[in-house]
Structure 1
Amino acid sequence: MTTLEFSYSLNKLSSSLKPFALKLTRDMDDANDLLQDTMVKAFTNKDKFTEGTNLKAWLYTIMKNTFITNYQRMVRRGTFVDTTDNLHYINSGDILVENGAFGDFAIDDINNAIEKLEEVYKVPFMMHFRGFKYHEIAEKLNIPIGTVKNRIHIARKLLKGDLYMYQHRN
């Protein structure tokens, strides 16, 4: 495969990688950075790609490994080695002690907001929250998959509105 063909194939597949990058990073800017890092690594290592194999799978593997490496690097950056005799690894983050009261209030507010949802929204939302896939919810409730996705979306939107006070809290 020529460099031009390889570059064209990478460009064509980049749009299908973006949702995976967003799922990994949960941030659009970080997803774009991860996608760019993946493309650069793929292009610089094009000689390691075996023609006739699945390029898309190869790119997904590069992306996943890049994400893991970046995550591990970030964790290491936040940890330092204590050079005292005990040689403990200590997280360097600020020490913060909470009594959990805020968390209890938040959980109560979340549960109350969920209870206020209409059943048509609450049931699919809770099934999805418990780990059911969209198609499983559709089968169990005997409704189209598009309806399931729509009801879960509406439930999230309603919950976001009810729980706006927690939106920018760390």
Structure 2
Amino acid sequence: MTSVEFTNQVQKISVSLRPAALTLTRDADDARDLVQETLLKALLNKDKFKAGTNLKAWLYTIMRNTFINNYNKVTKRSTKIDSAEYFQYFNSDETFITYNGGTATFVMADISQAIDGLNEDFRTPFMMYYIGYKYLEIAETLQIPIGTVKNRIHIARKELKKLLQVYSYN
């Protein structure tokens, strides 16, 4: 493929890159910049494109990777802090940390109550698994099939998730 053919094909496909760029950036100006940067990288690296492969997919990959790299640069730049300000506290003898066990006590009480509320058939395999028993060990100890053990642990988790939904981060 000659340089002129490659450039013409890239130019034709560039129109379809704009909606995808807008989806990534959620800003019209940033989307135009992303498409422009993608086309520039594609033209500079045309020797890396293998004729007969999907040019559109290659361009989308360049665009996605460019977006990710730019995003990572922006987030790293905006999260820099003046470490000297924080290191002065590490060397001081004063302790600024206060622990409050009240919240943890309430959470643990709710978890214990939820586990106690489970049916015995589900609670026993769940607690054995929680303690560290393997599925096979639980199956042998309780004399039930391993599939039943897995199913009961799954149901116990689902039930606990429902009972402890108040602590969900979603």
TM-score scaled by length of structure 2: 0.49
Larger radius of gyration: 2
Choose between structure 1 and 2: higher helix proportion. 2
